[in-house]
Amino acid sequence: MHTKMSQVQISEVGPRDGLQSVKAIMPTAHKLAWVDALVAAGVSEVEVGSFVPARLLPQMADVADVVAHARRHAGLRVLALVPNLRGAQAAAQAGAHKVSVPVSASEAHSLANVRKTRAQMLEEVRSLAAWRAEHAPHMGLEVGMSTAFGCTLQGAVPEDEVIALAEQLVAAGVDEVGLSDTSGMANPAQVRRLFTRLRQALGERAGAAHLHNTRGLGLANCLAAYEAGVRTFDASQGGLGGCPYAPGASGNVVTEDLVFMFEAMGVSTGIDLPRLLAAREALRAGLPEEPLYGMVADAGLPKGFTDTKGATHG
């Protein structure tokens, strides 16, 4: 039995996963102000963007500038998504502390998303890890395994394949492998089972839970992952990048709701919830037309709510 730890790491992915999912382009100055507001709330890791060609994702054209600004915050871990070696080289040059590579558990999703088979992505990761070892040894390298809990294109994804791919990725040189519920198909029993298997297979190299609320199970799945020993969780402020009420939405877990759940349980996130709720204004200023979601933001903090730092709110 693992002993319950009283601390979790929340990685804010809104500036990447959220912004690349919406049509509007947030002006750079507003992105920087949003990152500043997140840091002021105590967020210690932010995925600030993707190093991909601007013609493919114009929302990410300014990613190097956002990395440079974010790096000014002492203690903030600056993360970027990279689909290939070229992206990793650009991220390293910009100064990202860590890069994340999207590798699909589903062959069909891999071909649709990055136009490569799983075997080809494994080879890409191998060459990226070799380059990192020689040229950017201090830069972290992780994989968030997409469609680990099911795929809209192929349906069920065999759990044995997920674990085997995770082991191959660690052998290829990545620091850690997390699991992503890309299509919002996961349920708590499945999440608990698969993360338990991942931790048995990879030990300390088992990484973050990136779970979606597409079908209303986001927080339940996060709790199941926590009970399986996961201590790092991705989430998006305001549910940016998808909501169960929007057509075709991906449904990211809302950062504010996730932080509230853990803090209410007595599990420290290191994040000041009132300041995190205030950071929504920086987000809203940069994307005034985009709907923001969150149960805690709508309901407010309960009377007498005390966070793990002992401060009483509400």
Domains of the chain: 11-313 (3.20.20.70)
**Residue 194 φ then ψ, to 5°:** -75, -40
- Predicted confidence at residue 6, as pLDDT, reads 73
Contact 291, 249 (CB under 8 A): no
Catalytic residue among 179, 194, 211, 243: 243
DSSP 17: I
Q: Are strands 77-81 and 305-306 parallel, antiparallel or unpaired?
A: unpaired
The Cα–Cα gap between 14 and 19 comes to 6
Place of tokens 């950062």: 255
Note if 151 is an active site residue: no
pTM of the model: 0.94
- Predicted confidence at residue 24, as pLDDT, reads 93
3-state class of 56 per DSSP?
coil
- Predicted confidence at residue 255, as pLDDT, reads 98
Q: How far is CA 165 from CA 92, 157, 229, in A?
A: 25, 12, 20
The Cα–Cα gap between 264 and 244 comes to 24
| 10-residue mean pLDDT series, the chain (314 residues) | 66 96 94 98 98 95 98 97 97 98 95 92 97 98 97 94 98 98 95 98 98 94 98 96 55 95 96 98 96 94 81 77
Contact 169, 143 (CB under 8 A): yes
